[in-house]
Amino acid sequence: MMNTGNQPALLDRSAIYKFIILILIGALGFYVGRREIGNDLLNQYVLLFYCTGKTVYFMKIFFDRIRQTAHKDLLHTDILPFIGYNALLIVISFGIDYLCLYEINNSSFSGITTREHLFPHLIAFFYFSVSVFSTAGLGDIIPRNTTAQILVSSQMMLSWFLTILVIANFTGIRDAFKQKTHKP
């Protein structure tokens, strides 16, 4: 959704590009680190650090975009693309993180049935990311080590944050930002 006329935009091209660049930098950093560092434990820590920073960044952007539109009229049709885009971004981003972790240590997850092919693994981890985001958690792919459990927990918390706090309380959050700026 792009800003037209007097309508505020929850999404704009620069925000979309920033998120895409953030995901690409993480994936590129993983592959460079994997080739250069070669230490699986260190690579797992780097991935956790990146994932934590990315999660904080996502939450900051959620609130920044809502705060920027607090004093403007929004239609529900403006909110839905914002929510959908962020949900898709979380699923894709964590799917890539899970794949990176699996590439570092293939015992991080059980239930991956494909063998040695990147694309089927990517599809499997996007599927897993959707099941984590939607809280379906079918149990066919299971995180098996601490790093995997932390990543899955991070996605669960971010997904909960988006669905419960942001979607359910979108108007309340905007009202709180309005009141905060009007206090003497």
Cα–Cα distances in Å, from 1 out to 140, 142, 143, 165? 36, 36, 36, 22
A 10 A CB-CB count for 107 gives: 9
Amino acid residing at 111: G
Domain definitions of the chain by residue range: 13-182
Q: What is the pLDDT of residue 168?
A: 66
The answer on pLDDT for 3 being more than 50 is no
A 10 A CB-CB count for 164 gives: 10
The whole-angstrom distance between residue 81's C-alpha and the CA centroid of its chain comes to 16
Give the range among 29-33, 93-97, 112-116 with minimum mean pLDDT.
Answer: 29-33
Give CATH for domain 13-182: 1.10.287.70
The residue ranking higher by pLDDT, 54 or 5, is 54
DSSP 62-125: HHHHHHHTTTS---HHHHHHHHHHHHHHHHHHHHHHHHHHHHH-TTSEE-----S-HHHHHHHH
Task: Convert the pLDDT of each residue in 23-44 to its tens digit.
Answer: 777 677 666 655 656 677 888 8
- CA neighbours closer than 13 Å in the CB half-sphere of residue 66: 24
Q: What is the pTM of this model?
A: 0.77
